[in-house]
Every structure is written in structure tokens, then in C-alpha cells.
Amino acid sequence: MRIIAGKYRGRRLVSFQAGHIRPTTDRVKESLFNKISPYIEGARVLDLFAGTGNLGIEALSRGANEVVFVEKSGKSLQILKKNLTTLGINEDVKVVKDDVFKFVKKWDGAPFDVVLADPPFTEKIAHPVMEILAQFPLVTPGGIIVIESSHQEPIGEDYPPYNFLDRRSFGDKNVSFFSLSEK
């Protein structure tokens, strides 16, 4: 894994191999960030199921002001912290060890401009993640949610108050985009 663009372009990230871990590939990440580039500069970003930090660090590299990483795996968190340290990132980030569903329910801070979610494919929880995000909105008006899912796990298009924008397929992975209308 590497950072594709921005301040940390070309830098490699540490990862680990495990059957249940499927990091976002460079091809998918590049397409995803090309789509959401208007939202990134100066954004507050929430990286759910952050893993080793691949998506959130890419957002920082491309100009996000702040990223909150949420991950419950201790091993993934160790690697995430190592990646942040290696890149010299110690400001504008918060690393939270928590279950995503619990985190979303109890979050009482400022909303986010961008929410990135890459739930584990083996758990097939993309739909429940969108349901909880709809129930406990964490997105600023005009903000965006990007969620990855297995092509074997259908994810709907109707999660009020969010509007479906687009879905892109990459082999066995789908990336869906939702926005919150400005009021």
C-alpha cells in the first residue's frame, strides 16, 4: 500500500496479511479519491474500520484538516499508529479504539465533512453501517459518505437523510457514495 497523491505521495504504508483483511487497493483508492476530491481540502474526516489507516492517511495527504480513525482491532491500531509515526503525523488526528456501532451511537462532537467506511467483507455489515449512520447522522450538510462493500453484499440506495450519488464496481468490491443535502 502506498499514498497516491498529495503531501505524502509515494510513501509506503505498513500492512499485514490476514485472510479477513482486504485493504483498499491503490486502483480503488485512486478512483474513490478522484470522485471525492472536491470534499477533501480542509475537511474533517471520519475513517470507520480504519484498519492500518490507508484511507484516512490518504485524506490527510490530500489536504484534509483532521481525521478521526476508529478501529477495534489492537493489531490494526498498532500498525496504524506506526504508519502515522513513520510519516511524522502527530497533529490533526485522533485514534479511537472502539466498535464502530458503539462509536457512532455515542459521538457527540462536531460532524464530519467526509465519512469513509471500509467494513470487513467477512462480516457483511455494510448495510447495517449505513442504517446506523442514517439513524445517528455524523455528516455536515453537503458532506459525503463513502462505503465499501463486497459485490456479494447488496447495499441499498435509500438511507434517509442521505442521498445516493453513485456506485462503482471493482472486481469483487463495490464503492458507494452518499451525500447529505445542504439545508
pLDDT of residue 29: 85
Domain boundaries, the chain: 28-180
pLDDT at 28: 82
**Where does the pLDDT of residue 65 fall: very low under 50, low under 70, confident under 90, or very high at 90 and above?**
very high
pLDDT of residue 53: 95
Q: pLDDT digit string (tens) for 39-55? A: 999 999 999 999 999 99
Query: pLDDT of 71-121, one tens digit each?
Result: 999 999 999 999 999 999 988 999 999 999 999 999 999 999 999 999 998
Query: What's the DSSP call for residue 12?
Result: B
- Fold for 28-180, please state it: Rossmann fold (3.40.50)
Percent of the chain with pLDDT over 70: 95
- Residue 26 pLDDT greater than 80, yes or no: no
Average pLDDT over residues 118-128: 90
163-170, Cβ contacts within 8 angstroms, sequence gap of 24 or more:
166/35, 168/31, 168/32, 168/35, 170/25, 170/27, 170/28, 170/31
